[in-house]
Amino acid sequence: MRGAYAKSDLDLFFAVPRSVEHERALGICTYRLARTECLAQAFDGWVTHGIFGGATPAWRRKLLRRRPHVTSWCDHFVRARAECMSRPHRPPDTHRQRNRAAMKDMQEPQVWPVAP
């Protein structure tokens, strides 16, 4: 175990769902570089409990049902990452740009005449 995981209490990753500890474990996983590898290890090892790679057991079960054909999740994630990196990326929009675009799309509010 390395990084934030090594400094964390391991019981944290096996906390009661929707508890404060559970949310904290999900937060620890969010920005980890090894997140995908951790998730692949949980899938390939058929780990049924605990938070791995920022995924709850329920989320992992749902993904397993959606992709029953995957035999190696590590290979699957490597291919997906390579495919994603081969596509041209556009720079992310800023909040301000998104808000301007949304304002353009909005219609002027209709003003109803007030009865005298």
Tell me the pTM. 0.61
Q: What is the reported pLDDT for 1?
A: 46
| CA pair distance 102, 97, nearest whole angstrom | 9
Parent domain of 60: 3-89
> Quick check: helix, strand or coil at residue 106?
coil
- To the nearest 10°, report the CA torsion of 89, 4, 6, 53: -40
- Closest by CA to 34, choosing from 9, 15, 6, is 6
pLDDT in tens, 10-66: 778 888 888 888 888 888 887 787 888 888 988 898 888 888 888 889 989 999 899
> Would you state the pLDDT for residue 10?
78
50-59: burial string, b at 16+ Cβ within 10 Å, e else: bbbbbbbbee
User: Which pLDDT score, from 0 to 100, does residue 22 have?
Assistant: 84
Report how far apart, in Å, the C-alpha atoms of 109 and of each of 75, 104, 106, 112 are.
52, 13, 9, 9
Q: What is the pLDDT of residues 51-110, one digit of tens each?
A: 888 888 998 999 989 999 989 989 998 888 888 888 776 666 666 666 666 666 555 555
- Smallest CA-to-CA distance from 61 within 43, 41, 40, 80 is with 43
Residue 100 within any structural domain of the chain: no
Q: How far is CA 70 from CA 2, 40, 76, 83, in A?
A: 28, 11, 7, 16
Considering its fold, how many domains does the chain have in total? 1
Q: Does residue 112 belong to any structural domain of this protein? A: no
